[in-house]
A = this chain, B = another copy of it.
């Protein structure tokens, strides 16, 4: 009947791929490592983007657009950033193709059209943006600059996975400029809060706010703040990052401002971003073996209505009733699809919309009409209820809110039961191998130990939580003194 979905138990990775592809979110493309985001997946991204965009604007940011290409000499200006991204840069070297003289109808790169300076396809835009800000900033009056960009970026990853890690992806990148470090840090923290708010209240995805260890920092940052989420297989996923860049980029691009006392100083910077990777997190946090489960607040279709009938006469009666319900739902701002297509049976449609994760399904048949009821099925719990048509729109409105909350609570409960604490290295390894999830353990604060732990356990420090209590202890691996626990996990 429906499309075959691999179960999570059978093969978690294949289950994920099945959901993304058969759920019509995205597909592989003809370009290595790049995906096609299909209309249903893109509608989901549009909803997420629109909510985030409003949050950015409500916090005083404006959108702008900077070039896709970064000349190599600009790219290499901030050395740590350049070093961090050099290995995954797509590079444009030529600007023309020409007819292949040996092969009719084919083209070759025109060797005479070689660029004097190679262009890097942006893996992130700090370099091109800070070279631009140099021209925008002279005085404290020009600050702060609060700019965001929605864009595509390219990072040539060797192992790619739909949404989670693709050579090209869509994202937003905020790039702000400030007169003081205090103000820049406040901005960094504010945007982390915006991301956490979005993840929790729109994606129903509980996250832990924290700061990265030096090893896991963004290349070129002084501090990287992050939100970390937990997937159903016990692996962590970094869902968003917000970087305090200090004066690193201002120094690399010589961006100074004169303050109120006419004293020159370098400008302070932040950058922050979330990407289409969030869709991968959404899929893996909530879905089940029957398909996607999308949170109502960002689902492209919140309610699907499937008619069950025999013959045109019954159909006409159903149409009339459903039309009234659709009008009421739309008046409440609820997105609804009436699927009365005659090329599939109701059972097939049920399975299809379960696969696509539509939060609420309404089925309505001839007998229902007689009884003035419809059948309501919620996607998250699969509960079915017979509900009076009278007041149905308000009922659904409340139900959508209930589903949103229930999804969050379920994911939160899963996350809570997947945070373990240990002071024993053996138990640390055992927890990671059997239960997964976050493991809270002491760490001596050195990059060396962090590397060693990663090598031995495949777990990384996901973050030092923001509200972390100080606590004397001994490092889980080295036994050296430690002042606080950090969160380890295997991660996407």
Contact = CB atoms under 8 A, between A and B. Distances in A.
Nearest to A72: B107
B88 A96 contact: yes
A89 B96 CA distance: 5
Contacts of A107: 72, 75-76, 82, 86
A31 B97 contact: no
A459 interface: no
B97 A67 contact: no
A106 B67 contact: no
Interface stretch (A32-40, A198-206, A263-271): A32-40
Interface stretch (A113-121, A381-389, A446-454): A113-121
Contacts of A31: 67, 69-71, 119, 128
Contacts of A76: 105-107
Contacts of A75: 97, 107
Contacts of A70: 31
Contacts of A88: 95-96
A97 B91 contact: yes
Nearest to A65: B37
Given A27-B135, A30-B71, A76-B107, A63 B42 contact: yes
Nearest to A77: B105
Contact of A91 (B45, B109, B147): B109
Interface in A137-196: 141, 147, 151-152, 154, 156, 168, 170
A424 interface: no
A199 B109 CA distance: 39
B105 A96 contact: no
A466 interface: no
A93 to B, nearest CB: 5
B96 A93 contact: no
Given A31-B71, A39-B147, A106-B76, A156 B64 contact: no
A156 B39 contact: no
Contacts of A38: 64
A109 B94 CA distance: 13
A168 B95 CA distance: 12
Contact of A92 (B42, B62, B72, B91): B91
B72 A93 contact: no
B42 A156 contact: no
Number of copies: 2
Contact of A29 (B66, B91, B105, B106): B66
A120 B156 CA distance: 15
A86 B95 contact: no
A62 B87 contact: no
Contacts of A118: 109
A476 to B, nearest CB: 35
A492 B433 CA distance: 65
A74 interface: yes
A158 B93 CA distance: 16
Contacts of A29: 66-67, 128, 132
A349 to B, nearest CB: 15
A95 B105 contact: no
Given A29-B132, A62-B42, A71-B30, A89 B97 contact: yes
A110 to B, nearest CB: 8
Contacts of A63: 39, 42-43, 46
A156 B67 contact: no
A41 to B, nearest CB: 8
Given A37-B64, A64-B39, A30 B96 contact: no
B131 A30 contact: yes
Contacts of A69: 31, 34, 90, 168
A416 interface: no
Contacts of A34: 67-69
B65 A170 contact: yes
A47 to B, nearest CB: 12
Nearest to A105: B79
A154 B89 CA distance: 18
Nearest 9 CB-CB pairs, A to B? A39-B62, A34-B67, A37-B65, A86-B97, A95-B156, A31-B67, A91-B94, A93-B93, A76-B107
16 contacts: A27-B135, A29-B67, A30-B67, A31-B71, A34-B69, A36-B66, A36-B132, A37-B65, A42-B62, A68-B154, A69-B168, A76-B107, A86-B98, A88-B96, A91-B109, A121-B121
